[in-house]
A and B are shown apart, each in its own frame.
Chain A
Amino acid sequence: MSAVVAEHDDHHDHEHEHHGPEKGILRWIITTNHKDIGTLYLLFSLAMFFVGGSMALIIRAELFEPGLQFVDPNFFNSMTTMHALVMVFGAVMPAFVGLANWMIPIMIGAPDMALPRMNNMSFWMLVAGVLLIASTLFMEGGAPSAGWTFYPPLVMQTGKAFPFAVFAVHMLGVSSIMGAINIIATIFNMRAPGMTLMKMPLFVWTWLITAFLLIAIMPVFAGAVTMLLTDRFFDTSFFDAAGGGDPVLYQHIFWFFGHPEVYVMILPTFGVASTIIPVFARKPLFGYSSMVYATGAIAFLSFIVWAHHMFTVGLPVAGELYFMYATMLIAIPTGVKVFNWTATMWKGSLTFETPMLFSIAFVVLFTMGGFTGLMMSVAPVDFQYHDTYFIVAHFHYTLVPASIFILMAAGYYWLPKWTGNMYNEKIGRLHFWLSVVSVNILFFPQHFLGLAGMPRRIPDYAIQFADWNMVSSIGAFIYGFSQLLFLYIVIDTIKGGTGEKVTDEVWEEASKHGLEWTLPSPPPYHTFTTPPEIIPTEHI
């Protein structure tokens, strides 16, 4: 962060009358306030995290031992599918949109989001989409069970759930696109005078780039499922060889969406990490501009590497080679980020409050996930890794101890600002240590399982995989139940926390690092109705 407010105008703008929040439940339903909408997103995503997590626990319970104990294989596949959809579209993405809503206007000194009514609609579209997909759990033939990738022809065998899943994707897509448009318009149009692009906090930068990704990819996913819909109900043959189509075409389209999609879940993560680490290292972020360029480079590369998910579908050699080289390149800008975070900590004056603990764990464990990603990007070896638990381990390392950990970190970091109350540091640390240990018990053994030959998406397995699966399941339950501590902390902090009222700054010298720390805690319902004045700090 590179700018602070010279002077902050606390007086309300008297030109229009300033509404406080509406009364009662209506406040939340028809709200246009970025903080209210941010809160809605965050609470919704927290709930979805537990829903998706419970599904994961069903998966892990079934895999605890060889043999089929609890669920029918079809239901198991539904759980795999729904777990992924709920986590990706219901938990991680909305959580980051929630953070964006809360923090971006504040960080750039704007009064609100650029298009407040549309902001409201984005949220409710999300809820509608999730309701549609959740309703399929109760339908004849069960929820979709063809994996979150919806590959045809298998997905065509879905029962009544099929059109609901397709339309849910459409609604989620529209929601994301509207959210992304709003973020772009806010960042380009609503910055306080003096807040130049290269002074924006990295969280804002990473979200700007993520928003571009979203606008580019969500329509692609919508197009793909639309073709599934017409193939099933309107006689088209996009994915049917008899009519001249090709199921692999679907995979190309899906992964053109799907690969950038995983970066949608990681770029804002990078942004939050780059915001938190400097505060607790008491040092400015190392290499601010290279962080910005690296984010851009990752986003650009993410569009041209999609077929690394398809090395075994029968690509021509030239294709294999091209997608292998392009994918390997991503390690370079990502490496720059990892090195910059390390350099930020280097010779700092480190303290280890809960947000910092989660952020450090993120850097280490994300890098491990990145390493396995790099291994899989080597096409010939991916002929062994593909569709095994090695991949499950890879992406959970990049999603759980990366995205989820950083979301936790963001929660601890900003909760005092949002509520004005301090969370319980002791329980926070307990939550961290339980999480970081159990998440490794949960996912590390999956590397062994994958290398030893255990395919993914199976409800039952050969005896030689039994031991590590049991270990992994134990880890899952410890990890899962530790998350209840976070739920407790959130509720507790909202209710008053430790009882200690926090200062505006909350963290030592935090106001050097972001405009939000110059506002009262909690900030008033409307902030920056007159723009703050931004003056450069000494270290840029």
Chain B
Amino acid sequence: MKKTKQLLACLVLMAFGLGTAHADYTLNLMQGVTQLSHELYDLHMLILWVCVFIGIVVFGTMFYSIFHHRKSKGHKAEQFHENTTVEIIWTIIPTLILVGMAIPATKAVIDLDKVQESEMSIKVTGKQWYWEYEYLDSGVRFESHLDEASEKAHRVSTIDPRTVANYLLNVDRPLVVPVKKKIRFLFTAADVIHSWWVPDLGWKKDANPGFVNEAWTSVDKPGIYRGQCTELCGRDHGFMPIVVIAMEQDQYDAWVKTTLEKQKQAPDLSKQSRSLLLAKGESVYLKNCVACHQIDGKGISGWYPALRGSAKVTGDVDQLVGFVQAGTSKMPQFKKLPADELAGLITYIRNSSDLGNDVKDEFQPCQALTLDDFDDLFPDIDDAAQQCKEKGEVKPVKDVAENKAGA
């Protein structure tokens, strides 16, 4: 019943060409919020009207002929079949029109290219299937994944996507930029080609593995701008959105400051309750693992093994931690997961009913500490590790390489 109504509504809307009820939705290209996007919008409108005009002339003539020169009306066919003059005319006029279009287009190409003299640079790395941002000037660095609500909604058939705000267009950590500042973007990719597109900025740019592409923007007004990856990059290509928040300079500066502080914070090594670990683990899993091993842990046959019931998951925990950190040629490595997140994750995959595993244990952050990589990431880690050791809680996993060999 609901379906039929929707259907009817659509057809009615279509009949009147009224567009849809969504306020943020247009039938036409969006004008965007940068000088470039306005320029491209104008160019788009120009060509569109040229085409509409030519269309009216050509189709008009044709339909005139169809109505008046039909046999049923007794029209006799004339036998002309050549006229050099008109042929020359209809070669030259389109040529002139094209030249007229090429001039503003050339200017726009050159404008798109003006990456020089930017005031800040952001390096964007596309990965299967999320984005990584690195502010080259301030050192802020983070990953930006599809947000949890959308992640769950598209994986669990009982959740209606319509109930999720900004379904598939929301991320856990948006890119934050100041307004009215010339920003240079550097694009690259870690695995396959991705493409970074925020329509409101006016362009998309491919992120090619091993190479660097550049583009620039300068956002006119504060706001939240959304986009998506636009180069087919594998299974979850449709699920790696982009969110850009543009804010005034002072707000932006404050954001940089707090972000840097958080980034330097050592992981929380205190002993944690089982439910807290499971909750944390679920969100880590949704962010990092679900794309391959799936929300029910069943994996995808032929591609990714199931974690549900896997002996590796339910078996020796040290081996498991080592495996997850080291990765394989087919699975990415997760060395940089902070100890508390890793602890949550391991507890979750071994014990969660979502994945159908039930080892009945828990894994504490102190146990997760490998000390390998944390030194440079978290300068205070030594103290924390010391604390763990003193409490007798530390149980560093076995050598990563050893585990890898075993895998």
Contacts and interface: CB of A to CB of B under 8 A. Distances in A.
Interface in B21-51: 22, 24-30, 39-40, 43-44, 47-48, 51
Interface in A349-391: 349-352, 360, 363-364, 367-368, 371, 374-375, 378-381, 383-384, 386-388
A334 B343 CA distance: 64
Contacts of B110: 317
B71 A386 contact: no
Interface string A277-309: 000011111111010000000000000000000
Chain A interface mostly helix, strand, loop or mixed? helix
Interface in B217-257: 227-239
Interface stretch (B6-14, B132-140, B345-353): B6-14
Interface string B92-136: 001100100110011011111100000000000000000000000
B229 A67 contact: no
Interface stretch (A178-186, A264-272, A335-343): A335-343
B47 A381 contact: yes
Interface in B50-96: 51, 54-55, 58-59, 61-62, 65-66, 69-72, 75-83, 86-87, 90-91, 94-95
Interface stretch (B207-215, B281-289, B334-342, B361-369): B207-215
A470 B6 contact: yes
Contacts of A343: 83, 86
B79 A242 contact: no
A345 B87 CA distance: 16
Nearest to B32: A384
Interface in B300-348: 300, 302-303
A159 B69 contact: no
A67 B153 contact: yes
A462 interface: yes
B120 to A, nearest CB: 21
A329 B102 CA distance: 11
A364 B98 contact: no
B375 interface: no
B202 interface: yes
Contact of A321 (B24, B62, B106, B155): B106
Contacts of B80: 283, 286, 347
A467 B86 CA distance: 45
A365 B11 CA distance: 22
Contact of B208 (A73, A248, A331): A248
Contacts of B39: 380
A248 B11 contact: no
B102 A290 contact: no
B167 interface: yes
A383 B195 CA distance: 11
B390 interface: no
Contact of A282 (B77, B90, B162, B206): B77
Contacts, number: 302
Nearest to A66: B161
Interface stretch (A108-116, A196-204, A449-457): A449-457
Contacts of B26: 451-452
A455 B228 contact: yes
Given A66-B162, A67-B161, A317-B113, A77 B81 contact: no
B207 to A, nearest CB: 9
Contacts of B7: 470, 474
Contacts of A381: 40, 43-44, 47, 105, 108
B205 A314 contact: yes
Contact of A287 (B6, B82, B214, B232): B82
A208 to B, nearest CB: 21
Contacts of A347: 65, 69, 75, 77-78, 80
A283 B302 contact: no
B403 to A, nearest CB: 25
Contacts of B356: none
A380 B237 contact: no
B14 A383 contact: no
Interface in A129-149: 140-142, 145-147
B69 A349 contact: yes
A154 interface: yes
A351 B25 contact: no
A153 interface: yes
Given A317-B113, A336-B91, A471-B10, 18 more contacts: A66-B168, A73-B238, A140-B302, A145-B235, A151-B193, A154-B193, A314-B211, A335-B91, A350-B69, A351-B70, A364-B62, A368-B55, A374-B47, A380-B105, A383-B205, A448-B27, A466-B162, A470-B7
29 contacts: A67-B157, A72-B300, A153-B209, A248-B208, A283-B77, A284-B79, A288-B81, A312-B203, A312-B206, A314-B214, A324-B106, A328-B102, A345-B66, A347-B69, A347-B78, A350-B66, A371-B51, A375-B51, A386-B204, A452-B25, A452-B26, A460-B161, A460-B168, A463-B162, A471-B10, A471-B11, A471-B14, A474-B10, A539-B79
Interface of A: 66-69, 72-74, 77, 140-142, 145-147, 151, 153-154, 157, 159, 240-242, 246-248, 281-288, 290, 312-314, 317, 320-321, 324-325, 328-329, 331-332, 335-336, 338-339, 342-352, 360, 363-364, 367-368, 371, 374-375, 378-381, 383-384, 386-388, 441, 445, 448, 451-453, 455-464, 466-468, 470-471, 474, 539
- Ordered nearest first, which 5 A-B pairs have the shortest CB separation? A241-B210, A458-B238, A380-B108, A349-B77, A383-B203
Interface of B: 6-7, 9-11, 13-14, 20, 22, 24-30, 39-40, 43-44, 47-48, 51, 54-55, 58-59, 61-62, 65-66, 69-72, 75-83, 86-87, 90-91, 94-95, 98, 101-102, 105-106, 108-113, 153-155, 157, 160-162, 166-169, 191-193, 195, 197, 199, 202-206, 208-211, 213-214, 227-239, 300, 302-303
